[in-house]
Structure 1
Amino acid sequence: HRWNERSWEVRQFLARNQHSFRSFMADEPKGRQLLDAAGLDGYALPVVITEQGHTLVEPSDAELAAMLGLSTTPRLEMYELAVIGGGPAGLAAAVYGASEGLKTVLIEEATT
């Protein structure tokens, strides 16, 4: 729903992770059609329906990340360089460290 905070957060999550999406309000004809096709009443929002027909109701960030194939756990047990913050300086430091052969991890405030 337009005023549902979690719906806004889901849209932000998808945009931040560069995943294209279309958003429909539950009370609009297209939104109602999609909910009906998924067998949902629209009382629990947000609802994410993938192109493959998978449905997530009130998804967590971890569920969204899994849907997108994003990693939510460290790939290595130990890193040689941890960069905090994904701004311009943080990205530059992470790229430089990795280019020097360091096992590098970039940590951002957002969950994914």
Structure 2
Amino acid sequence: MKLLKPVFAVLLLSISSTAFSAGMIRLHPGNAKTINFSSEVATIFVSIPEVMNYKVINHQKVVIFALEEGLSAFIVYDRDGNEIYNKSVDVVKVVVKKGVRELRADQEKGIGDE
């Protein structure tokens, strides 16, 4: 029974994080994502344009792009005013895991030189 509690806790966390991420798009500053729609796009709402913005490619295709770290709502409506898309866009900085010493060692070995 003691083993079931940790397993259940991990399972619950996995399910809740999957459900949470289903309504979210994660991008790094400078990255973009193309989103295709089956309905014609009429209106787009972005809650924090400093975090992300968009470009309409055609009536059924929009590219969103990350500007700076933060969280913004991205909602799309059709011609009748119906919400056809609603996601949060989470813009996060890239975390560099290699330390300065490792980079210097790589440079000395010629790794990464092309």
Q: Which has the higher strand share?
A: 2
Q: Whose helix proportion is higher, 1 or 2?
A: 1
Q: TM-score, normalised by structure 2?
A: 0.23
Q: TM-score, normalised by structure 1?
A: 0.23
Query: Which structure has the larger Rg over C-alpha atoms?
Result: 2
Q: Which fold has the larger relative contact order, with Cα–Cα distance below 8 Å and residues 6 or more apart in sequence?
A: 2
